[in-house]
Amino acid sequence: MIYMANGNSNNTCTLTVDDLTQAIKNCVDGHGMQETAARSMAEHVLNFFGFSERIIDNILEQEDRDVFYMLEDAGLLTTEREQTTLYDGREWRIHYWLFHRDKILKLKEQTQIMQEKDSSAESVYDDIPDGVWSSRMGADE
């Protein structure tokens, strides 16, 4: 599933399940959320949006709304509202949910940088011959 963050063909930016999964993993639940739980949450939320830029709050059940509030607290979602006057003079407010895509993409970049650093640190040990490790083990014993 790909979320089209801007329906305008001149300036489209897509958010993928992977993007949102990484952002959720890094922001929600003290960075301790499992990959499968974060992916499940990302897919669930993206299914509401489809290819839309925003969704109306009224379509959410309370359980779903709680997830949206959690993601809003993490800075991944934001809200906006419109107010209109009905034909009988009453004011009507419509609440919408939108992705905070700049933060999501920034978190994705940070994750990629951290993964690159981790993989470069691992490669330092790959260059050390096996004999060094066995000689060190014998010296300590």
27-68, pLDDT tens digit by residue?
876 566 788 999 999 999 999 998 888 999 999 999 999 999
Domain span at residue 88 reads 2-116
Cut 0.85: pTM above it: no
Contact 1, 46 (CB under 8 A): yes
Burial 9-38 (b: 16+ CB within 10 A, else e): eeeeeebebebbbbbbbbbbeeeebeeeeb
Q: Flag whether 135 is in a domain.
A: no
User: What is the structure's pLDDT at 10?
Assistant: 39
**Residue 7 Cα distances to 28, 45, 53, 54, 76, angstroms:** 28, 18, 7, 10, 19
How many domains does one find in the chain? 1
